[in-house]
């Protein structure tokens, strides 16, 4: 009986070791900490747009770029259009609230 249990333990440890080895072969997604952006209350629209583009290219494209694991935010997603068009179609929420909620709970 102990030989059967030992064989089960050996197979289990072998399978776990194999999956651990395979998991270490998969490249890990690494993104850098974004540079801090400081804008005062008197920031112009151009400054806000530039800051938004900087944040998007530093943070969002780590997951939401072309060919990555999450949908690209700037292209058509499942026939619903880009993120700006989807926010206009969100029911029960203003566009700003929809975008804020999408950032907090993608």
What whole-number distance in Å separates Cα of residue 72 and Cα of residue 80?
12
Q: Do residues 99 and 87 touch, judged by C-beta distance below 8 A?
A: yes
Q: Which pLDDT tens digit goes with each residue over 45-71?
A: 888 888 888 887 777 777 776 666 676
Burial of 5 (0-12, 13-18, 19+ CB in 10 A): exposed
6 token code pair:
């030992």
Q: Which pLDDT tens digit goes with each residue over 89-105?
A: 666 777 778 777 777 77
């Amino acid at each position: 009986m102990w030989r059967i249990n030992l064989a089960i333990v050996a197979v289990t440890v072998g399978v776990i070791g194999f999956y651990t080895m395979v998991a270490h072969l998969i490249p890990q997604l690494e993104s850098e900490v974004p540079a801090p952006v400081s804008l005062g209350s008197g920031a112009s629209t151009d400054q806000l747009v530039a800051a938004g583009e900087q944040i998007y290219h530093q943070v969002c494209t780590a997951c939401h770029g072309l060919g990555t694991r999450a949908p690209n935010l700037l292209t058509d997603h499942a026939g619903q259009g880009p993120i700006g068009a989807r926010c206009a179609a969100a029911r029960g929420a203003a566009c700003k609230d929809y975008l804020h909620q999408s950032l907090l709970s993608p």
